[in-house]
């Protein structure tokens, strides 16, 4: 069985603008291929080739531009979690590991399915200085499953703002049926 993850995954949200953007782009391209003999501009029908070409370009810019922007938003929403996972994996492989003490588990301002996402806060001492680390948004409360209220934290010694609170690696084996 696959181990259950406590971290909330958000990549799927990007599928909606990606799909809508793709539909807008298809409509914009298909409209460029539809034969037209003339267009109606301000109530006046004209068969001018330049007016038809201008209408097609305006339609392509409007639909294609909106579709392109939605495609970019969708790709960003899908790609950013993968970037975060790769960054976290690099920190696990190359970063410095400390064991931090659990401090708090509190709700965030993020609301999903009428329930608030939450974050786990922990503290660790590095070179005599106490640091506070916050986890990524979590779906469930992992505190009952922690081993002795200790959490693994991986950080970059050159930049202390780059850290990863490994909630999934710090809990006992949890399987959801």
Among 38, 71, 91, identify where a domain stops. Answer: 91
Among 91, 116, 140, identify where a domain stops. Answer: 91
List, for residues 84-112, the tens digit of each pLDDT value.
Answer: 989 999 999 999 999 999 999 888 877 77
Among 65, 91, 117, identify where a domain stops. Answer: 91
What integer is the mean pLDDT of 131-151?
88
For the chain, the distance separating the N- and C-terminal CA atoms, rounded to the nearest angstrom, is 9
List, for residues 142-173, the tens digit of each pLDDT value.
Answer: 888 888 889 999 999 888 889 999 998 888 77
> Is residue 160 situated within a structural domain?
yes
Contact 102, 146 (CB under 8 A): yes
b/e map of 12-44 (b: 16 or more CB within 10 Å)?
Answer: eebeebbebbeebbeebeeeeeeeeeebeeeee
Q: Give the single-character DSSP code of 144.
A: G
Q: Give the single-character DSSP code of 135.
A: P
Q: Range of 46's domain? A: 11-91
């Amino acid at each position: 069985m696959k181990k259950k993850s406590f971290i909330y995954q958000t990549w799927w949200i990007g599928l909606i603008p990606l799909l809508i953007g793709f539909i807008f782009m298809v409509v914009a391209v298909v409209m460029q291929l539809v034969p037209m003999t003339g267009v109606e501009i301000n109530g006046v029908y004209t068969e001018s080739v330049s007016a038809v070409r201008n209408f097609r370009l305006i339609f392509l810019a409007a639909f294609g531009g909106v579709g392109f922007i939605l495609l970019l938003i969708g790709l960003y929403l899908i790609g950013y979690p993968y970037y975060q996972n790769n960054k976290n994996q690099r920190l696990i492989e190359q970063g410095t590991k400390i064991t931090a003490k659990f401090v708090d588990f509190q709700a965030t301002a993020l609301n999903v399915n009428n329930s608030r996402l939450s974050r786990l806060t922990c503290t660790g001492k590095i070179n005599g200085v106490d640091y506070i680390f916050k986890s990524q948004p979590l779906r469930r409360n992992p505190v009952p499953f922690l081993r002795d209220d200790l959490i693994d934290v991986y950080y970059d010694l050159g930049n202390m703002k780059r850290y990863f609170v490994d909630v999934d690696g710090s809990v006992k084996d949890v399987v959801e049926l």
